[in-house]
Amino acid sequence: MGSPFNIIPNSGSADLAGGLDPILHPRPDWLRVKFFNGENYQDLKRLMRGLNLHTVCESARCPNMGECWEHRTATFMILGNICTRACGFCAVPSGKPDGPPDEAEPIRVAEAAERMGLRYAVVTSVNRDDQPDGGASIFARTIEEIRARIPVCKVEVLIPDFRGDWQALEKVIAARPDVLNHNTETVPRLYHQVRKGAVYGRSLELLRRAKTAATERMATKTGLMLGLGETREEVLAAMQDLAAQGTDILTLGQYMQPTRDHLPVERYVHPSEFAEYKVLGERMGFRHVESGPLVRSSYHAFEQEAAAHT
């Protein structure tokens, strides 16, 4: 197990100089998205606020939120809205949580999933390094509550590393999610500045353990962001590492700086390069690779899971 709970602050904008000047290098056309604000979008917003639920779509400022919400899909974010880590890429608020996780939250998530008519639910969380099991028991109960209300609904979980507490991982796996996702996020060289408090080798071990313990039906999944300063060779090496753990699904997307206090974008990766990584990834043995500028781990998650089982 990793070190005791400790809030790891971000460096602040003073240490984040460099990257592309947004005035000289505006976002290319392939990263411009249409904002949806229709009836479904507003209905989902009312539902989440009414049930006192959080979504990573909002907290992480996902560029696809309008599109996904208009199609009545969203990624639930459990264990509160305060993360005990402050990764350089992430817009989720960080600090010390006000108290323990809300034990009733799994019931409210399941109610929202039922009211949304979901047949595929995605659940992620903040890091809760202040909790003995990192929140694994709440993950397990959320899966169980969704299944109790909607037996036909598949459930994908995007989990933290639990600081290497493998018993916590086993709790989540025992609840039988259809997909277990843990994002690697970046290449090893950039871990210190991108994923404070995380360890590249620990994420690989989590994916390996999950695959070893998985039922035949449970797929494992991970994702990388590109454009943070990694080289092509580093991306391919990381992809090989992830394939070697038996990972079924890989997502690759463009990093976009959520605020000026976060890591800058070093490069906009062209769609043709993403297309090349998809081909190379499938040759490495991934059952499905979702690769494109606007791809996020939960984007079209249902289609990703289905493709991995064809």
Q: What is the pLDDT of residues 143-195, one digit of tens each?
A: 999 999 999 999 999 999 999 999 999 999 999 999 999 999 999 999 999 99
- Asked whether the CA dihedral 197, 198, 202, 208 is positive or negative, the reply is positive
Q: With pLDDT > 70 as the criterion, what percentage of the chain qualifies?
A: 84
Backbone angles phi, psi at 65, to 5 degrees: -55, -45
The Cα 259–Cα 156 span in angstroms is 28
> Residue 72 pLDDT > 70, yes or no?
no
Q: What is the pLDDT of residues 36-58, one digit of tens each?
A: 666 776 777 788 788 888 776 66
CA neighbours closer than 13 Å in the CB half-sphere of residue 33: 16
CB-based contacts of 4, cutoff 8 Å, min separation 6: none
**Helix (H), strand (E) at residue 181:** strand 179-181
Q: What is the pLDDT of residues 223-280, one digit of tens each?
A: 999 999 999 999 999 999 999 999 999 999 999 888 888 899 999 999 999 999 999 9
The Cα 30–Cα 224 span in angstroms is 19
| Residue in the structure block whose two tokens are 């906009």 | 268
For the CA atoms of 31, 119, 224, 215, the dihedral, rounded to the nearest 10 degrees, stands at -170
CA of 124: how far to CAs of 2, 144, 176, 233, in Å? 21, 15, 15, 30
pTM score: 0.87
Mean pLDDT over each residue of the chain, to the nearest integer: 86
Greater confidence, 160 or 301? Answer: 160
The Cα 171–Cα 159 span in angstroms is 12
Closest CA to 304 of 181, 204, 189, 203: 181
The DSSP secondary-structure symbol of 163 reads G
CB-based contacts of 220, cutoff 8 Å, min separation 6: 179, 180, 181, 182, 207, 210, 211, 214, 245, 246, 247, 248, 249
Out of 49-58, 62-71, 72-81, give the one with best mean pLDDT.
Answer: 72-81
Q: What pLDDT, on a 0 to 100 scale, did the predictor assign at position 155?
A: 95
> Residue 196 pLDDT > 50, yes or no?
yes
Q: What pLDDT, on a 0 to 100 scale, did the predictor assign at position 145?
A: 97
Instruction: With H, G, I as helix, E, B as strand and everything else as coil, classify residue 290.
Output: strand
